[in-house]
Amino acid sequence: MGYSLFQTPTLGMLSQAHALNTLGTNITNINTGGFKRTDTRFATVLGGNIRTSTASPNGGSGGVRPNDIQTLDQQGILESTSRGLDLAIAGDGFFLVSPTLEVSKQILYTRDGSFDINFAGAPVTTIGDDGNTISVRKGFLTDKNGFFLLGVAPEADGTFSETGALQALRVDQFALTNSFTPTTVANISLNLPAQKEFGEPDEFLSLNFVDS
């Protein structure tokens, strides 16, 4: 009977302590990338046996209990940074990451877009700017846990396939090199003014060429 007298204020104090602890966790992680806050709401507990949750003639007088609400479906705060490898998603969606370089069935999802370059895998050979063969290490985007950011490689025409296989995104300086073929022939189509008389001053057309 004595427990029943203190049940309501005891549950109230415990619930408030839980809410303050949740608030402290939210404040502590205010600068943690990808963190979503937790909101605490209070639910009314009717009279009953606290331990078995069944009605009892000797049950307590009720009180409140905390219910935590995860805000995973809500947009977080987007902030600009000075790092070139920081990304953010506005709206729905997640970054796909893998704990290993070789993508297995364990694919994880995150909203934390703070990435770094991690050099992993066996060295590969490529052609340097001077035409000589060099050995380089492959650099991949990884999050703060060391998980590899995943993406889909583009097709030959530059488009992306919805059914393309996921792979770790390689971003080192030799990852985006390609063999280019110089242009040797150019075609141009134009209309000549029919009313132009022979012997009038010549007309010139300016064309811009990009020499890379």
Residue 66 and residue 102 in one domain: no
3-class secondary structure, 125: strand
196 occurs within a structural domain: no
Structure tokens at 112: 């934390």
For 20, the domain range is: 2-70
Query: How many structural domains compose the chain?
Result: 2
208 occurs within a structural domain: no
28-43 pLDDT per residue, tens:
988 787 788 899 988 8
178 occurs within a structural domain: no
How far is residue 203's CA from residue 188's CA, in Å, rounded to a whole number? 15
pTM of the shown model: 0.58
By percentage, how much of the chain surpasses pLDDT 90?
10
- The whole-number pLDDT of residue 198 equals 72
Residue 106 and residue 153 in one domain: yes
Say yes or no to pLDDT of 51 above 60. no
Q: Among 13, 98, 29, which Cα is nearest to 64's?
A: 13
- The whole-number pLDDT of residue 54 equals 45
Residue 105 and residue 57 in one domain: no
Across the range 143-154, mean pLDDT stands at: 89
Residue 143 and residue 101 in one domain: yes
Say yes or no to pLDDT of 154 above 50. yes
Mean per-residue pLDDT of the chain:
79
Residue 154 and residue 106 in one domain: yes
64 occurs within a structural domain: yes
Residue 109 and residue 143 in one domain: yes
200 occurs within a structural domain: no
How far is residue 192's CA from residue 212's CA, in Å, rounded to a whole number? 32
- The whole-number pLDDT of residue 56 equals 42
13-32 pLDDT per residue, tens:
888 899 999 999 989 988 78
- The whole-number pLDDT of residue 150 equals 93
**Identity of residue 99:** P
68-113 pLDDT per residue, tens:
888 877 787 788 888 888 888 888 888 999 998 888 778 999 888 8
Residue 63 and residue 18 in one domain: yes
61 occurs within a structural domain: yes
